[in-house]
Chains A and B, each alone.
Chain A
Amino acid sequence: MWIRQWRNWNLPESAVTPEQATLGRRRAVALAIGGLAVGRVAAARADTTPPAGRYDPGRPLTEEKFATTYNNYYEFSTDKDLWRAAQRLPQHPWTLRIEGKVRAPRTIALEDLLKQVAVEERIYRHRCVEAWAMTVPWTGFPLAALVKLADPTPEARYVVFETLTDAKHMPGLAMLWYPWPYVEAVTIAEAANELAFIATGLYGKPLPPQNGGPIRLVLPWKYGFKSAKAIVKVTFAETRPATFWETIQPAEYGFWANVNPLMPHPRWSQASERLLGSDERVPTRLYNGYAEQVAGLYAGKTAEKLFM
């Protein structure tokens, strides 16, 4: 087995990945998606300058088989090995309910929603609160586009996401002591951030059910549990809702859950993370390395527990 001795002079992975190889791989992934929107992405990728490098993950992509077989999804099981059970979850038809502080509450079919947004691909690092991480190419659209479509009223301060509760296909729901449905939320300002993303695809394919298909939230600067899966309802609220993990263990999981290597979980360290599918452990970065894009959201919020 390869044992990695970690030294402080070790350079980050990005320093050793040949740029040309990275671009080649991305182009291949992008082309695999097909379609008009993707043509744009591929064209942009062919360029050797940003925006391709705007969200450069600086790490190799996680192998698809690992990203799609190692999942936290308590609606199915508290084990990670739930991808088989999740295959039974019907993905079509799928509708999204939009309600709360919006000018016109409505129910919209997923395919109609996708016609009203510009689909793109983004390679993000994803950091779980359990100190593992992956780097995967999502397809979808900015959360800001969904907010715009929903047309919230000025009272809306939070965007609340609710996961499907389908007891017939989700055996984990039988554990009645969990506070179903899974609810997660962000502030309106966070929802407007350029990184906040709604994913409907992964590795150029429809988003697999175990990864939150057919539609999920992706907030790459927060711990993974913030990014709700299989979304059926988006509510615009005036007050902060009780979120799933915060309800279960308020001393361990909070509302903000921004990634911070210096703020350990009450039981374990968050200083480093294990990359899925590898024996590699890398240092964790503040806001999962996205401080440049998101740190401004939290300026002045000194009274809040931003990192749990």
Chain B
Amino acid sequence: MPVRPRLSVLWRDRAGRFSALKAATLLALTVPALALALRWSLVGLGARPLNAAIHDLGLWGLRLLLLSLAISPARAVFGWARGLMIRRMVGLAAASYLAAHFTLYALDQGFRPLHIGHEIVHRVYLAIGFTALVGLAALAATSTNAMIRRLRRRWKQLHRLVYAVAALGLLHGLMQAKSDITQPAILVGFFAWEMLFRALPARRQSAPLVLFLLAFVAAAATAGLEAGWYAAATNLPWRRVLDANLMPELYGPRPSAWVGMVALAVAILATARSVFNRRGRAGPSAPEPVPLRG
């Protein structure tokens, strides 16, 4: 049966009822763009406004992409099945921010298609970023209900591409940095947590002990990836970068600390939930029913 797409799908659930979760998510997802637009129009973005806006949109695009990858872990750890209702919206928001990121880049280059094509081919970090964007566009285009129905099993296979898209996007973010990679390193660390989490056997994913261990491993991986990048891409002494992780009093929280703290918070909340559940009902909690599509 042909269904006319309506804007109201953005805040109604599948049964057509108003969903506070979806509406709140929709509003929250527009906040970074609105904040940027307001800053730009009211106080300006400084000496290179386009450049600042390009960076801001790219960073938010990557953050939202990683957020969309955090929703199934949130279901597994906290039984937050309703999260699936907003996963598509978060993913599409990431795609929108990154499309805007690319549009402003094109504007910065004077909208000259040949010149832009030449740049993308010749600058490795642009080629990587553009590849990621094309992949994400394919995922966004196949995110309609009709496409999900049409592609069935292959839809799931296709959408596993999101991991490659995120990895390439993060690499693009690392490569464009002049020498300080703090911001992209934090995102790389969260991505490492998300991927390590997916490598866990499903029945262990909500075990508090495993999550504590994962927090430690993800923080160590962040520190290792950060120092490894400095070793590979610069001539800076990577040992000092690595050592800085152990001296927060001197250097402040390094990327590994941010990743470790968030991962630790997840482990602590999972522990609290498991204790609460055990007290609430004797015996292990039954997994909540999970709808196939959000």
Q: Which A residues form the contact surface with B (CB < 8 A)?
A: 1, 3-6, 66-67, 69-70, 78, 80-81, 130, 132, 134, 174-179, 247-250, 264, 267-269, 274, 276-277, 279, 281
Contact = CB atoms under 8 A, between A and B. Distances in A.
B43 to A, nearest CB: 12
A6 B112 CA distance: 8
B176 interface: yes
Interface of B: 46-51, 107-112, 119, 122-125, 175-176, 178-180, 182, 230, 233-238, 240-241, 244, 250-251
Contacts of A277: 47
Given A177-B241, A267-B123, A70 B48 contact: yes
B50 A279 contact: yes
A175 B251 contact: yes
Given A176-B244, A267-B123, A267-B175, A81 B46 contact: yes
Contacts of A274: 48, 50-51, 108
B47 A276 contact: yes
B235 A249 contact: yes
Contacts of B124: 267
Contact of B123 (A1, A134, A250, A269): A269
9 contacts: A78-B178, A78-B182, A130-B178, A175-B244, A175-B251, A177-B240, A248-B236, A249-B235, A276-B48
A69 B111 CA distance: 28
B47 A267 contact: no
Contacts of B180: 78
Contacts of A1: 107
Given A267-B176, A274-B51, A276-B47, 7 more contacts: A1-B107, A132-B48, A176-B244, A177-B241, A279-B49, A279-B50, A281-B108
B235 A248 contact: yes
Contacts, number: 77
Contacts of A67: 47
SS class of chain A's interface: helix, strand, loop or mixed? loop
A248 B234 contact: yes
Contact of B110 (A249, A250, A281): A281
Contacts of B109: 281
Contacts of A264: 122
B123 A5 contact: no
A248 B108 CA distance: 29
Nearest to A247: B235
Contacts of A250: 235
A281 B109 CA distance: 8
Given A5-B110, A78-B179, A177 B244 contact: yes
B46 A66 contact: yes
